[in-house]
């Protein structure tokens, strides 16, 4: 879908290097800079543009609010790309309105939230993507690197809560209601079989849908059992499908989650149909905030029950 809106959600925990046991966020004896205040400080100290020349990217936080628990904040990450020239053309008049230079930054606002449940020794982070563009890899690396510098010998780990393989997901046991296989830009020969002569490439989907009150199986099992060939695709009836999307219950409703396909979409929870867009084409802050609130509460319920 054009300009799709997605969410990538992570569990944040702290531990010693080469150790698997998670540490208390309140253990001042262990840390020189404990996790909760570190997370707040990281947002505050990166509230002005940071340029990554090697990646030709820029970013900075615009926090809208902090709290109520220490370390929690939400707002925007302004994520930009630079390093190439291009023309900005009016789509209606077809006239070039502006010549973008190499040092100009194309910047978009991406919602983020870091939430630490009250008294918890972990936190959650949610990062929005826009039309496949995401800053999560860059920001995640920066957070982990900064924590290592502030706390030598310790690690702050961001673990994806819905990984594309499903096996380590907090939703590994969630029932899959439907599974979509997608082949984009397929040959018109496929359409010819059913509707006669077709001149343009098509997008083709194969939908597997469970009957009412049934499922296709647990998310972890379904995703793990999808057998792809060396080219990374699934072949059905002689047709190669390059993407797979499962529908599972996340945050109180069934949502599409990428299992495999283009790297920017795997493991992403699609909220495109659940948000409201402004005149600028971007989702409103409040509509994304509401979706994130539902999901993080759901994640916390699942994670907390496993840690008891």
For 191-246, the pLDDT digits (tens) are 777 776 666 778 889 999 999 989 999 988 888 888 777 767 888 777 889 888 89
What distance in Å separates the CA atoms of residue 194 and residue 296, rounded to the nearest whole number? 44
CA distances (Å), origin 35, targets 60, 123, 248: 20, 9, 32
pTM for this one?
A: 0.84
Residue 188's CB is within 10 A of a number of other CB atoms, namely 13
Over its length of 308 residues, how does the chain's per-residue pLDDT go in tens digits? 568 899 999 999 999 998 989 999 987 778 999 999 999 999 999 999 999 999 999 999 999 999 899 999 999 999 999 999 999 999 889 999 999 899 999 999 999 999 999 999 999 999 999 988 899 999 999 999 999 999 999 999 999 887 655 555 677 888 999 999 988 887 767 677 777 666 677 888 999 999 998 999 998 888 888 877 776 788 877 788 988 889 998 888 899 888 877 555 667 899 999 999 999 999 999 999 999 999 999 889 888 776 65
What distance in Å separates the CA atoms of residue 234 and residue 223, rounded to the nearest whole number? 12
Cβ-based neighbours of 284, under 8 Å, separated by 6 or more: 275, 276, 277, 278
Most distant CA pair in the chain: distance in Å?
Answer: 73
């Amino acid at each position: 879908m054009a300009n799709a809106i997605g969410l990538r959600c992570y569990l944040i925990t702290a531990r010693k290097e080469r150790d698997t046991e998670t540490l208390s966020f309140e253990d001042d004896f262990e840390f020189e800079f404990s996790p909760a205040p570190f997370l707040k400080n990281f947002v505050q100290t990166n509230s002005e543009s940071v340029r990554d020349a090697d990646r030709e990217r820029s970013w900075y936080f615009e926090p809208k609010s902090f709290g109520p628990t220490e370390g929690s904040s939400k707002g925007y990450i302004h994520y930009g790309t630079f390093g190439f020239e291009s023309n900005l053309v009016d789509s209606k008049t077809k006239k070039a309105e502006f010549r973008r230079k190499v040092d100009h930054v194309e910047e978009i606002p991406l919602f983020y939230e870091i939430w630490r449940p009250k008294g918890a020794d972990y936190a959650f982070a949610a990062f929005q993507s826009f039309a496949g563009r995401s800053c999560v890899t860059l920001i995640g690396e920066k957070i982990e690197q900064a924590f290592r510098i502030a706390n030598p010998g310790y690690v702050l780990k961001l673990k994806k809560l819905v990984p594309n393989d499903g096996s380590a997901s907090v939703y590994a046991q969630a029932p899959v209601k439907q599974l979509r296989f997608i082949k984009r830009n397929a040959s018109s020969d496929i359409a010819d079989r059913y509707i006669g002569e077709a001149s343009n490439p098509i997008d083709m989907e194969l939908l597997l849908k469970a009957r009412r009150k049934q499922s296709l199986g647990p998310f972890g099992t379904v995703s793990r059992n999808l057998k792809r060939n060396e080219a990374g695709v699934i072949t059905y009836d002689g047709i190669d499908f390059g993407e797979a999307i499962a529908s599972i219950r996340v945050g109180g409703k069934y949502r599409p989650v990428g299992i495999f396909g283009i790297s920017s979409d795997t493991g992403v929870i699609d909220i495109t149909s659940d948000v409201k867009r402004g005149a600028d084409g971007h989702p409103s802050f409040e509509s994304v905030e509401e979706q994130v609130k539902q999901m993080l509460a759901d994640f916390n319920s699942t994670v907390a029950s496993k840690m008891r």
